[in-house]
Amino acid sequence: MDSKSDQTTGSHEAEKFVTNPVRIGVYDFTDGSVSLTNFLQPRFCRELNHQLYPNTTATLIDASGGSATDANGKKVFLLSEFVCFFGTLADPIHVLATARTTTPVFVTAVHTLIRHDADLQITVMAWNAQGAPVPGVSFDWRCRVIHLPTGFGPPK
């Protein structure tokens, strides 16, 4: 093959990728309730009157996907790379990552609200038993977070 046909093949492959997108994750928006507590009444577990406590209902984002750690045993990504949403995010936030391997490896995940709580940065790291980073570990992740729409989000 000459270089011209290589370029044509490469552009054809790129065109196929654009016209035939690849699934990278799933997500949904659901209605939920926020649990409240305070230090004076630590057992504040009862049916909430949403008129007295208007901030106890929430839209929740439940998202999941898959990826792999880089050469440093780490993968950093944004929730907005997988979920289309408008608004802010709020605690409590739950992130879980599970290695997709039969080789023993530890996987940890941390998260940080960024851009004035408009996005969530998720960092997944893979470690061996000696604490050294492990590159190339495939993993699945799941995140559940409170979404406070700005009026441009999905319909309720």
Predicted model pTM: 0.74
How do residues 23-78 score in pLDDT, each as one tens digit? 777 888 888 777 666 666 655 544 444 555 555 567 899 999 999 999 999 999 99
DSSP secondary structure of 24-52: -EEEEEEEEE-----SS-TT--S---TTT
Q: What is the DSSP string of 120-133?
A: EEEEEEEE-TTS-B
What is the chain's mean pLDDT, rounded? Answer: 80
pLDDT, position 42: 56
Share of the chain above pLDDT 90, in %: 49
Residue 129 has pLDDT above 80, yes or no: yes
